[in-house]
Structure 1
Amino acid sequence: MMMNLKRLNFTLLEPETFFEKEISNLKKLSNELSVWANKAGTNNQRFNRALDEVQDAIRFKRPLEETLCSKTHVRAFALSLESDTDNKIKITQRLLDAITQIVIKPTSLLIESLFQHFLKKFDELGDIVATGAWLHKSMKGRGIELKHGNEILSENGPQWLANQAIQQNIDFDQLVRELKLDRYSSGKFITLAQSIYYVERLKTITLNQGHELLHEVQKPNVYQARYDSESLLGHKILEILISRAQGTAIDDSWLNVIMAIAGDPRIPKSHERYIKWWSHIHPTLIQTVRGWLSKLDLRLFLEALDDFAKTSHDSELRRMYPARKQFLEGLFDAGLITHTRLYMSRQADYFLKRNYDKNHLPNYSLVSNGDKSIIYVQLTGAHLIEGSHSCYLWMYKHLDPEVCVFNYDISQPTYSQLTSGINHQMLQISEDMRAKAKITHSPTNFSWQRKALTTLRELGVKVTPKDVLSDKDYKQFKQQFGTREWQ
């Protein structure tokens, strides 16, 4: 019979470790391992027969307690815990009772084998309580000391381990090493404990402030870890961070975690990433993230615009920048922006990738030609197309669902598609659907802001000069034009 056995890894531990009281002479342990390995060899026909019988029982899901009838069978069972059939082994009270009847005082190697299986499989091994109790009793009978054995060998072991790290305010990995459990770090027990540790810590760290834990949970091996039967750890991290920061201007350190794990939710629901992450998150929380990302879109658009103004030494653009920045951010702060989509020039794309971790950037598309960037802004009751440089500010009451800003399959539209092209497309539908305004950013006497405010008011958007002007500009605006018409 051919059977794929995983390599048996036995670490000869230093004094004051797991087998300290059981084996003081490491040479004795080495000899015992050699004897067992020889018995497991192909020259031992009795052992091979027992191993075949145990493996057949596992493979065909027959009760193992009915198969184990000798110490040789128990050794074969212990070896099977390290084979490619270990996932099919379920530890039950009846199985443990059968082992105890055969080997009243289990060997250290059998105990270690089952202990390793306990930590490796944990919630998948079968009867956790019975297995933990058997291990605790067997270790005590052999004089093997496991620090905090009562707590570790329980169904709440992972929770206890996580809470210990939190209560003692020490690094989780450090505690695992102190308890001599680090050699089992890849098992379900430690993985589950670590997940609980991260979740509980994230519930208590200071809101919207950087923390070393936020860097740790951005590691794929952390957020991709299984949390429970339905969720990955990343799902729990997303829920905690978004829920805690809801209603606030989320700090970059928190938003970066969300982006690193799940990316931008403003993608089709059929997208693989959306299915994996965002389909598990409550729609209210998703909408919260969309709002944060609209603010991020505005910031990135304005930063790219500012960078171009500086590097191109365009003095006119630099003069216009503060007012355009104030206007867009004012709309957001007034709670009027419901959605955005960003289109960056290749130069702006280079700027962002040079200054940001790509995992922390939102989704954006590229303008396929020219050096201008565009941002689409959806308001409650209006739609804006704003561009960098000397672009017009386009304003619409409605936009047809077929225009490019709603089509995520169009990832690199031309500049004209996003500007005059949309207006042309709307004109094809109806004269009334054309742009309500096409505004040049003339800074004289607040010319462009007044036109924009007037148009927005006509479209039913409740916005005032105070919302979109700096304090200094608003004071000057009041002196020149008054505010009665904006009340």
Structure 2
Amino acid sequence: MRLPPIDNRPASWPAPVIEGWFALTEKAKRMKAKAGDSDAFEHTLSRWRDMATTGRFEGLPALLRRRMGARALTSLWLNDERLGSRLLSVRMLDLLMDVQQPRLTRLTLIQLIQLYFRYFDRLDERDKQSEGMLERLQQHLHDQLDCMPEPKQPLFAKDVLSVLKREGRWLLDLHGPMELVRRVREQGRELGDAFSDYGLEGFDVGRYGDICRAYFYLDTLRGLRPGEWDPVLDELLKPSVSKAPYEDGKRIGHVALEIMIDRAADDPGESWQSFILNLAGDPRIASSASNYREWWKPLGEARISKVRGWLSKEDLRLFLQAVEQYGIETRNDDLQRMFPARKQFLEGLFKLKLIRNTRLLLGTKAQLTVRKILGSEVKTSFARMDGNMADKAVIYLDCGDFHIVEGSHSFRIWVYLAPPGAMLSSYEISTFNHADLITAVPEQYKKLYPGLPVGAYTHNPPLTWQNKVFQFLADNDIGLDIEQLLGRQDYRNYLARFGMPVVSARKVKVPPAAPMPSASTRPERMVQQELEPAWGAHTPRQRAQPVQTATRDIPQSGTPVSTASAVPSVARSIREQNRVIAESGSSSHVRSPPGAHSRPSPAPGGAGRSESDVSLKREIARLSLPTLKVLRYFASNPGDKARYAANVLDIDTREVNQLLHGPLKNLCKQDAAFGWTVTPEVDAMLNQLFP
């Protein structure tokens, strides 16, 4: 017999039935909330509060032995921040576990579990008298769960105690949040669903849940494209998340910064850069600053340098905006007319990827201009200027092979061939004046690199100042793609007027920087200090493809030896001779470095030393260590050609020729056979310096 199909679709419930179910649900919630509450329980809570307030613990053992007393105590630990903290200690916890045998009641145990999940890694902070609260509570919870019997029948809902009895060994662990997130990721689930599946709903509102979410956010962050915005960035900025512990003493925020810095290349994008500055601040501050020690120092110098390089673009943007706005507000037609050329020049250096680092200096009035334009968007750190620099902006550009200090108006563009001292590059100095920039910094540069030129040019007339900069660099073996540094029409006019700069084949060798006092010392106070030439610290020019030369001393047998053993003795000798020079004529006997041929000492010429001898000694003392080695080679091997010295000293022949025609041109002479010898005066002086 064929029957029609049964329609078993659920019918809509009548309104009275739905209202009845809602009433039952609310009644169940009220009953659950009142569970365990009674006058006796309130009286027990009052006794615990009296103990916490007065510090008198008469009747403590008897109170702890009672089941209600144990439940009241754990309730106070969990719900009363002030009085509960006074009663929470490792000793009290151990005592509770000792007297509550064989095990805690279900409700008391759940409250302890809630305490664990709510405070987690901060549990140790709650016991001010001793350490190890977190570890001790973990162990007690594991012991209690092991003692708990298996349920006699399956539960319809996830029971937290049953789950923790089965999974507690890894869930109730310091690295439990990390492991939970790892499993969630492997299973392709959401974090909220995992809390529900493990019966931890309601347990995720404390510190444990915050750390789980932080780990979850880090995994999400690893999957983002560099520069991509995601809501997890806002979550990671919350102090409760960013300051959560990770591993090896690091915080979640540290790991987030490492992920972003390592994954981003030259440009992190606006959203990632904004996140980094909002979380950790600008790294271009003094190393003693608390923010630097807290967030940047743990990341390491490589990451710090990378971020500083990113912020160079921000410095350039702020500088150009300050210059442009100043010209508009003051109606300075000359400045407005020159601004496009300056902007093209500076932005061209950035496009050519020459700028490695920057430092922005803003006068007090210029700061107001920048903040008026950008408001709260200004997060970059900058140095301050006062006096007649109050309305100006200055930017220092480290371009590797050269360095530029450029100002907004009424300020020359300064071009250096080496870092102009620690004053501009160090973040320990945060205030500058006009004399610092036009006097102190150039003087410090000259002391660091004697004989190394510096260019300073006004910005008038148009194209002339660019030509002076280009020509200065070209004369010193630095070529630029000037088409990128000039506008299209300016480039055509420049070629018609000046032609293309010819880069000199003469490589300018930057000498070692003389040691200076600490960066926090003002250069104007350095003038009174005696400066010692830096024979030991060689700072070569940074080129795209640097050529590293290793010089070697010449032993008696003519076989090259390692520089490692020779350099210290030469450096010690030079330092001693520097002391002799400072004493203006006192004799000194120092040990000869390996490889120096002995020569007879000249007869003493009287008590004093002639001015020419002192001048010659100073000239030799200013030589860099590689240059001095070449000089001593030809003193020991008169008549040898440049290529012989190059082979023995293991350097390029071109380098030897450059030294002979450069710093040694007054100390060596070439004979008819194209061999080289030192002058008799130099030979005698070397004999005195290295007997």
Q: Superposition pairs for residues 199-214 of structure 1, below 5 Å? A: 199-214=218-233
Deviation (angstroms), 1:345: 2.2
- Tell whether 2:368 aligns with 1:375: no
Tell me the TM-score normalised to structure 2 length. 0.55
Give distance in 2, aligned partners of 1:169 and 1:306.
53
Write out per-residue CA displacement over residues 287-321 of structure 1, whole angstroms, 9 at most, x where no aligned residue.
11011112221111111112222223333322322
The residue aligned with 1:155 is: 170
Contact 1:96 1:131 in 2 (8 A): no
The residue aligned with 1:448 is: 465
Q: Superposition pairs for residues 203-242 of structure 1, below 5 Å? A: 203-228=222-247, 230-242=249-261
Deviation (angstroms), 1:251: 1.2
The residue aligned with 1:196 is: 215
Tell me the TM-score normalised to structure 1 length. 0.74
Deviation (angstroms), 1:226: 2.8
- Tell whether 2:41 aligns with 1:36: yes
- Tell whether 2:105 aligns with 1:88: no
The residue aligned with 2:28 is: 24
In the alignment, residue 196 of structure 1 is paired with which amino acid?
Y
Q: Superposition pairs for residues 69-468 of structure 1, below 5 Å? A: 71=67, 74-75=70-71, 78-79=74-75, 81-82=77-78, 83-84=84-85, 85-86=87-88, 88=90, 101-102=102-103, 106-107=105-106, 109-122=107-120, 124=134, 125-127=137-139, 130=142, 133=145, 145-146=157-158, 150=163, 155-156=170-171, 158-159=177-178, 160=180, 187-228=206-247, 230-245=249-264, 247-356=265-374, 358=376, 361-369=379-387, 370-398=390-418, 401=421, 404-406=423-425, 408-424=427-443, 426=445, 432=451, 436-442=454-460, 444=462, 446-468=463-485
Contact 2:214 2:236 in 1 (8 A): no
The residue aligned with 1:52 is: 60
Contact 2:44 2:68 in 1 (8 A): no
Contact 1:69 1:102 in 2 (8 A): no
Instruction: Sort the Cα spacing of 1:25 and 1:127 in 2 relative to 1 into closer, same or farther, 3 A.
Output: same
Contact 1:376 1:385 in 2 (8 A): yes
In the alignment, residue 118 of structure 1 is paired with which amino acid?
Y
In the alignment, residue 411 of structure 1 is paired with which amino acid?
S
In the alignment, residue 320 of structure 1 is paired with which amino acid?
M
What percent of counterpart residues are identical?
A: 25
Query: Greater RCO between the two (CA within 8 Å, min separation 6)?
Result: 1
Q: Gaps (5+ residues) in structure 2?
A: 1-19, 51-55, 79-83, 122-133, 505-691
In the alignment, residue 364 of structure 1 is paired with which amino acid?
F
Instruction: Sort the Cα spacing of 1:424 and 1:116 in 2 relative to 1 into closer, same or farther, 3 A.
Output: same
- Of stretches 268-277 and 152-161 in structure 1, the one that deviates more from structure 2 is 152-161
Give distance in 2, aligned partners of 1:339 and 1:259.
17
- Of stretches 351-360 and 144-153 in structure 1, the one that deviates more from structure 2 is 144-153
The residue aligned with 2:596 is: none
- Of stretches 461-470 and 284-293 in structure 1, the one that deviates more from structure 2 is 461-470
Deviation (angstroms), 1:117: 2.0
The residue aligned with 1:58 is: none
Give distance in 2, aligned partners of 1:167 and 1:347.
58
Contact 2:45 2:76 in 1 (8 A): no
Give distance in 1, aligned partners of 2:240 and 2:67.
40
Contact 1:70 1:102 in 2 (8 A): no
Three-state SS of the structure 1 residue aligned to 2:414 is strand
RMSD: 4.5
Deviation (angstroms), 1:196: 0.4
Q: Gaps (5+ residues) in structure 1?
A: 1-14, 56-67
Three-state SS of the structure 2 residue aligned to 1:227 is coil
Contact 2:404 2:415 in 1 (8 A): yes
Three-state SS of the structure 2 residue aligned to 1:394 is strand
Three-state SS of the structure 2 residue aligned to 1:101 is coil
Give distance in 2, aligned partners of 1:166 and 1:264.
36
In the alignment, residue 26 of structure 1 is paired with which amino acid?
R
Give distance in 2, aligned partners of 1:226 and 1:216.
15
Give distance in 2, aligned partners of 1:474 and 1:188.
62
Instruction: Sort the Cα spacing of 1:206 and 1:97 in 2 relative to 1 into closer, same or farther, 3 A.
Output: farther
Contact 1:453 1:464 in 2 (8 A): no
Q: Flag the structure with larger Rg.
A: 2
Give distance in 2, aligned partners of 1:130 and 1:224.
28
Contact 1:111 1:138 in 2 (8 A): no
Instruction: Sort the Cα spacing of 1:416 and 1:40 in 2 relative to 1 into closer, same or farther, 3 A.
Output: closer
Write out per-residue CA displacement over residues 133-168 of structure 1, whole angstroms, 9 at most, x where no aligned residue.
569978998969447884885625634368759988
Instruction: Sort the Cα spacing of 1:118 and 1:183 in 2 relative to 1 into closer, same or farther, 3 A.
Output: same
Instruction: Sort the Cα spacing of 1:102 and 1:234 in 2 relative to 1 into closer, same or farther, 3 A.
Output: closer
Instruction: Sort the Cα spacing of 1:325 and 1:39 in 2 relative to 1 into closer, same or farther, 3 A.
Output: same
Contact 1:224 1:233 in 2 (8 A): yes
In the alignment, residue 383 of structure 1 is paired with which amino acid?
H
Write out per-residue CA displacement over residues 260-295 of structure 1, whole angstroms, 9 at most, x where no aligned residue.
122222233232222111111032211110111122
Deviation (angstroms), 1:373: 1.0
Deviation (angstroms), 1:343: 0.8
In the alignment, residue 282 of structure 2 is paired with which amino acid?
D
Instruction: Sort the Cα spacing of 1:90 and 1:342 in 2 relative to 1 into closer, same or farther, 3 A.
Output: farther
